[in-house]
Amino acid sequence: MSTLPTHIGQVEMAEVKGFLADDEAEALYRHGLASAPMGAVLEVGSYCGKSTLYLALACKAHNSVVYAVDHHVGSEEHQPGEMFHDPDLFNANDQHFDSFAEFRRNVRRSGLSDWVVPLVAPSTVCARHWQTPLAMCFIDGGHSLDAALSDYRCWSDRVMRGGILAIHDLYPEPELGGQAPIAIYRLALASGLYEEVERVNSLGVLRKR
């Protein structure tokens, strides 16, 4: 039986924009609960906050926080004319994609503001002077090979021994989806530093040896 909450505060989770399936969300929440007592939790690619809220709820149980890294101007696939563009998130006044207002609204209405630290900047900028070891890192940022590799190189070394590295949108067959996330997943396994814990739908979960 699923333990995943359907409502968090005033937020109906089924209505939050995002691409996280329920079984993937439940796995994130479960690993967040197990990881938060050990140290910091961080995600790369918050979008409108669906994964953020599940990780924040897990962190709340242990008085920890989730660091939510996202520049909020959209990845390549979110831009006008692209497959995953959402016109509701396009700022017509400034003529650019902007998911931050929706993200803040969801965090505020969830009642989890004290357990979410938004880092509104590119992943590379956030990682530049990062010193805190990560008990869990969830990578779900840009899906170009350059973006995925950059996120992996920025954050995988910062995961503590015994910590979790979770990567979203793993598709073994190219016709099912982009290959950048599964490329960095395979890179992590090939490094010998990580072992596979589980695969849930398109979410892969690794533990650092």
| pLDDT above 90 for 195 | yes
Domains of the chain, CATH where assigned:
16-208 (3.40.50.150)
pLDDT digits (tens, 9 = 90+) for 63-114: 999 999 999 986 666 656 666 666 676 676 776 778 999 999 999 999 999 9
Neighbours of 3 (CB within 10 A): 8
First to last CA, the chain: 31
Coil, helix or strand at residue 153: helix
pLDDT digits (tens, 9 = 90+) for 52-61: 999 999 999 9
Distance CA 20, CA 67 (A): 18
| pLDDT above 60 for 29 | yes
Span 124-128, average pLDDT = 97
Span 168-176, average pLDDT = 85
- Main-chain dihedrals φ then ψ at residue 144, nearest 5 degrees: -75, 160
- In the block, residue with structure tokens 């995943």: 4
| pLDDT above 50 for 1 | no
Going by C-beta distance under 8 Å and a sequence separation of 6 or more, which residues neighbour residue 175?
A: none
Distance CA 191, CA 201 (A): 23
Distance CA 34, CA 163 (A): 10
Span 136-140, average pLDDT = 98
Coil, helix or strand at residue 64: coil
Distance CA 98, CA 78 (A): 10
Is the distance from CB of 26 to CB of 3 less than 8 angstroms?
Answer: yes
The average confidence (pLDDT) of the chain is 92
Of the listed 31, 78, 143, 168, which one is catalytic?
143
Distance CA 195, CA 80 (A): 38
- In the block, residue with structure tokens 């709820």: 57
What is the per-residue pLDDT for 82? Answer: 61
| pLDDT above 90 for 124 | yes
What is the per-residue pLDDT for 52? Answer: 98
143 is catalytic: yes
Supply the pTM of this predicted model: 0.92
| pLDDT above 80 for 41 | yes
Alpha-carbon separation of residue 6 from 1, 43, 45 (angstroms): 13, 21, 22
**Residue 183 pLDDT class (50, 70, 90 cuts):** very high
